[in-house]
Amino acid sequence: MRPSLNNATTRPSSSTVPPYLPFCHHSDLLSPKTSCFIPLFPSTKYPTLQNPKSPSYPHQDPSISPAFGSLVKASMASSEPSAGAATETKPFSVLFVCLGNICRSPAAEGVFRDIVKKKGLDSKFNIDSAGTINYHEGNLSDPRMRAASKRRGIEITSISRPIRPSDFRDFDLILAMDKQNREDILKAFNRWKFRETLPADAHKKVRLMCSYCKKHDETEVPDPYYGGPQGFEKVLDLLEDACESLLDNILAENSDIRGS
């Protein structure tokens, strides 16, 4: 997550930042010149999975050995997909992304999950969130965001994690909270696509969260990290607006989700 900075805004002094807020949660992390920059693009190797060697069978005519023929038929039958599996609809996958994955994106995940559940469609969706940096990996979301969401009846239980290459394969939509987040996501994709097997058009999955807003004119979800309680309420207002429209848009473009 990144605080909105302009000429009239200065970074707050350490005395104004609550003691549990790490100093490194700042947009300066995105600059490679900063000493506490945490790179998002580690070299990742995946172990090759090897199947155990198939057992050898005696070379003989199945018509001469009925038992062997039955074994072959059973094996062929087990490898054929059932009719139910062929018609099963894959859940629509949505990933919400911000800077540290402890304020905006986990709130977006919680809001969207709540809306989907109330419409009885939770089994049709796979919903998750991530960050463009790994500084907060393994942490719960910001307690102020959890408290603000809980007052609206929304529980945030996600654990922070950084975005990873497989996200570009596994998710149908990747929603960035602001333009810098979107830029960092696309940079990650452009680096990873040369060493990972990723869909060539995966960059088209990345969209701005506020592009779905109907009641608000903002183009970005502001980072509330260094602000007061009103900042968290504003974020939730924007997310509730955008998530309602997002679901309507997904259902309109994927009629099989509602009908399956």
Which residues are tagged catalytic? Answer: 98, 104, 223
3-state SS, the chain, equals CCCCCCCCCCCCCHHHCCCCCCCCCCHHHHCCCCCCCCCCCCCCCCCCCCCCCCCCCCCCCCCCCHHHHHHHHHHHHHHCCCHHHHHCCCCEEEEEEECCCCCHHHHHHHHHHHHHHHCCCHHHEEEEEEECCCCCCCCECCHHHHHHHHCCCCCCCCECCECCCCHHHHCCEEEECCHHHHHHHHHHHHHHCCCCCCCCCHHHHEEEHHHHCCCCCCCCCCCCCCCCHHHHHHHHHHHHHHHHHHHHHHHHHCHHHHHC
